[in-house]
Structure 1
Amino acid sequence: METGRGGWDIAFRELAAGYGARAVLSGINATLPGGKVTVILGGSGCGKSTLLRHIIGLSRPISGNILIGGHDFFHLPEREFRRLRRRMGVLFQDGALLGALTLAQNVALPLTEHLNLPKEVVRRAALRVLKMVELEDFADFYPNELSGGMRKRAGLARAIIAEPRILLCDEPTSGLDPITAARMDALLKAMHAFYPDMTMIIVSHDLASLDAIAEHVLVLRDGGAVFNGSLEELRESDDPYLRRFLHRLPGEDDGPAHTPPDPEVRAALDRWLAQ
């Protein structure tokens, strides 16, 4: 299987994706450009993580196609499918580090699991990528001895140790304070500058991260793709939903339903509060 040089596009053709027979996404037609940083946006439950699982190959589409580097991912022979998956690195939302292993051992897992290399070579590789994420001094610490931001950076180091052609990040700034989140954004930008042919897909709802790192944006809503284009085009869009999303504005029907309390419950509460 040859995929050529340069960044790999990821294309969706009439994609329907979900769980079992229940479609979460349908009719998705979009191309995420190779060698660019694409941010997948959308409200909670819109299908962002579902789409990510399908790109990684953890779930099969209900129908339609996913093309990676020009190859129909789920129609490849099993051996080629596995080979393509090896070229992907994943930063999970919580870092997904193993508590019984040190940071260096966690980061080196892709090498120790699949390659027969001397221990000193593997450790040297782990220290190299830990240095890239400014964690080389914590190589022999355990995950529970680190902050949440440090664990995420360690997860990023593990995701890139095999120098993947595609890096997928699930909510890399969730749960982080603004300064730590900005540091993660800067780290992702630096990583992309170091690996300019790497296609980066970032699932997020962090608008500050969007402004900091996005070159391309895919917006999901109600099971479909409502926008696919550059960050500049997104900012210029007149679509009411996109403008509400970007400016954090509620919809006209948002807010609590104004229904009167149950009289029996209210009377019982009054008696209890008066005791």
Structure 2
Amino acid sequence: MLELRIAGRDFGQPVLGEIFVGIERGDRICLMGPSGIGKTTLLNAIAGLDKAIPESAVLGREVLRVGYLFQEHRLLPWKSLMSNLRLVGASKREAEELLMQVGLAGYGAYLPDQLSLGMARRAALARCLAVKPDLLLLDEPFASLDPIMVAELKALVSGILDAQPDMAMICVTHDDKDVVSLANRLWYLNGKPASLQWTDTVGDPQRLEKLLGRLRHG
């Protein structure tokens, strides 16, 4: 589906080292690593937003539809939720169905700033889904949400993936529980410059705890 052949990325000093890894349809990947190690940088490279990374470094992206849920919702604040979805190609009916899917039925006329953080993030997720993505990129989607909102959004993401088993996902997170509930693969990014220390499947929670303990402590 997608193959990464990233030779490295620096911002005056090295951030990413060599990243050679593949992504298959149906992969549910949680991307973990220390704060500031380069996880968002890697996500931006995969999405094609980092123009310093040559297109040849991400093989297969040109034929994929990519939905990206940023840490900030990035909805156009002067446009209603309906208009935000229509701008990325959703018909009126599709936009209504997407808002219903993320629990925002009846909110189509609202502006983003009229919503809570959790609601705005769900609206941004609806916009991601409007492009009918083959690959869903999530950058700390549960950050700054209260536990109830986290549970609701996590269940929503899991349900979307279950309903579309060919869709792949890469989710940046710091929470081990997200790996348990969402992932069938773990990427662990660490080092100077950062590289993927683990790219394999994960097992039961006890094995995951031991694995993450080993990765975190070198």
Give the alignment's TM-score, normalised by structure 2: 0.87
Match of 1:39 among 25, 30, 37: 30
| CA displacement at 1:17 relative to structure 2 | 2.5
For 1:230 and 1:163, the matched residues in 2 are separated by 26
Query: Is residue 32–residue 216 contact of structure 1 (8 Å, CA) maintained in 2?
Result: no
| CA displacement at 1:14 relative to structure 2 | 5.5
Q: Name the counterpart of 1:125.
A: 94
Q: Name the counterpart of 2:10.
A: 18
| CA displacement at 1:202 relative to structure 2 | 0.9
Change over 3 Å in CA distance of 1:61–1:43 after alignment to 2? same
Change over 3 Å in CA distance of 1:235–1:27 after alignment to 2? farther
Q: How many residues align?
A: 215
> Following superposition of structure 1 onto structure 2, how do residues 44-123 of structure 1 map, counting pairs within 5 Å?
44-59=35-50, 60-61=52-53, 65-68=57-60, 81=62, 84=63, 87-111=65-89, 122-123=91-92
| CA displacement at 1:186 relative to structure 2 | 0.6
Larger RCO, structures 1/2 (Cα 8 Å, 6+ apart): 2
Change over 3 Å in CA distance of 1:163–1:64 after alignment to 2? closer
Determine helix, strand or coil for the equivalent of 2:213: helix
Query: What stretches of structure 1 of length at least 5 have no aligned partner?
Result: 1-7, 74-80, 113-121, 252-275
Q: Name the counterpart of 2:170.
A: 201
For 1:245 and 1:40, the matched residues in 2 are separated by 13
Q: Name the counterpart of 1:258.
A: none
| CA displacement at 1:18 relative to structure 2 | 3.4
Give the alignment's TM-score, normalised by structure 1: 0.70
Structure of larger gyration radius: 1
Match of 1:232 among 191, 197, 203: 203
Match of 2:213 among 243, 246, 250: 243
For 2:28 and 2:204, the matched residues in 1 are separated by 15
| CA displacement at 1:238 relative to structure 2 | 9.1
| CA displacement at 1:27 relative to structure 2 | 2.0
Change over 3 Å in CA distance of 1:53–1:66 after alignment to 2? same
Change over 3 Å in CA distance of 1:235–1:11 after alignment to 2? farther
Match of 1:167 among 121, 136, 145: 136
| CA displacement at 1:140 relative to structure 2 | 1.0
Q: CA RMSD in A?
A: 2.6
Query: What stretches of structure 2 of length at least 5 have no aligned partner?
Result: none
| CA displacement at 1:181 relative to structure 2 | 0.8
Change over 3 Å in CA distance of 1:23–1:173 after alignment to 2? same
Is 1:151 the counterpart of 2:120 in the alignment?
yes
Q: Name the counterpart of 2:107.
A: 138
Change over 3 Å in CA distance of 1:230–1:150 after alignment to 2? same
For 2:142 and 2:164, the matched residues in 1 are separated by 21
Determine helix, strand or coil for the equivalent of 1:243: helix
Determine helix, strand or coil for the equivalent of 1:173: coil
| 2:124 alignment partner AA | G
CA offsets 1:16-65 (integer angstroms, 9 cap, x no match): 1234x643111222223321211111111111000011101111337983
For 1:238 and 1:188, the matched residues in 2 are separated by 23
| 1:94 alignment partner AA | E
| CA displacement at 1:228 relative to structure 2 | 1.0
Query: Is residue 15–residue 64 contact of structure 1 (8 Å, CA) maintained in 2?
Result: no
| CA displacement at 1:245 relative to structure 2 | 6.7
Structure 1 vs Structure 2: percent identity of aligned residues? Answer: 31
Moved more, 58-67 or 38-47: 58-67
For 2:83 and 2:55, the matched residues in 1 are separated by 39
